[in-house]
Amino acid sequence: MNTSTTYRNYYRQRTADRWRKIPAEHLDPGAIRPFLAGNWKMNLIPRAGVALAARIFDLCRDIKDVDLGFAPPFTGLSTLAGYIQPDFLRREYGIGRNVFLLAQDTFFESKGAFTGEISADMLAAIGVDRVIVGHSDRRSNLGKYFGFSSSVARRLSPEFLMHTLHHLEQSENPNPQVITTLNHLIDEKNSGMLAGLATFLETELTERAGESDDAIRRKVQAALANGLQVILCCGENLEARNDGETFTLLERQITTSLEGVARHAMPEVIIAYEPIWAIGVGAQSAPLEQISEVHDFIRNLLMDLYGEQVAAQVRILYGGNVKPDNIEAVMQLAGVDGALVGGASLNAADFAKIIRFGLPNVV
């Protein structure tokens, strides 16, 4: 683990089974440019988003050696796209080609009866460059808000099960195992077990219901097919971390999400490791040693899947309470290529300090 030198541009090499950074000038061919992305989540109306971006650009004049990304809500994408035109940014702030517009999500179908969803080709049509896929908010938290868990629990009442059993028995070729199970659950002597099962499932689904790995895989493919780069998020919850299942979970998330992505398409993919337990108000950033360990695991997994050259070039970001006071230490790690920033990206001074890691601050 390298925690002594901060490189803003670098090459990555693997020697003696360890990854390390080699300093480079930002115009060197093949040099890796860190990517600092601000995910605004469900915050800021369009004009406020432009004002925030303008203040950040003002504090980061002439910063050309890192890539910057801004992910406003869907409602702010068109307005921000009109503001961050490269010619304007170059003239006003001395930047431009290193600023990218990000969408917070997409859908895997191109059109149809999918009320409320936004397709990848729609995003590309309004100037979006990259799309976040598989964010922990969507992987893990949807069940808390959308009532799926309560709906499942209600289906474990004797009345609902009897009604279901009646319809199954009158259908053609009913599954005998399902019939047996329903009869067992409906039996009055098993009422306590049924109530306990309903409570258990409601609790579990509230914490776990969210986008599946397969849905995320389809989103990755849809985004790439429409010319969008992908920021693929992965990460474990606290239970998985405590049970020693972090690497197993990450391997499943990444391999499933990248299924069908060819080697030549991998330069269009950025991976963001965001431990769920390190995100949110009151949470603490993951320890540096753990961040380093996980990033090395992900990079070695990419090497197994796509070879060493691809693994060396794919940027892997860290996301989880990234702040001005820890960004430099995080960026000193050999495996980290940037940050996916949440709350701190809503404060111009804080995000500017993150963008300027390793440089003198101007605020």
> Average pLDDT for consecutive 10-residue bins of the chain (363 residues)?
74 93 90 97 98 98 97 98 97 95 97 96 97 91 68 84 91 91 89 86 71 93 98 92 94 96 97 92 90 97 97 97 96 97 97 96 74
Distance CA(266)–CA(277), nearest Å, equals: 28
Q: Is 135 a catalytic residue?
A: yes
Give me the pLDDT at residue 41, please: 96
* Catalytic residue of the set 202, 236, 274, 295: 274
Give me the pLDDT at residue 3, please: 45
Distance CA(315)–CA(269), nearest Å, equals: 8
| CATH of region 10-141+213-355 | 3.20.20.70
Give me the pLDDT at residue 2, please: 43
* Catalytic residue of the set 135, 202, 236, 295: 135
CATH 3.20.20.70 domain span(s) along the chain = 10-141+213-355
Burial class (CB in 10 A: 0-12, 13-18, 19+), 48: middle
Sign of CA dihedral 54, 56, 62, 64: negative
Closest CA to 1 of 298, 339, 334: 334
Give me the pLDDT at residue 145, please: 67
List the beta strands (DSSP E) in 136-288: 229-234, 269-273
Give me the pLDDT at residue 75, please: 98
Distance CA(107)–CA(97), nearest Å, equals: 27
pTM: 0.88
Q: Is 166 a catalytic residue?
A: no
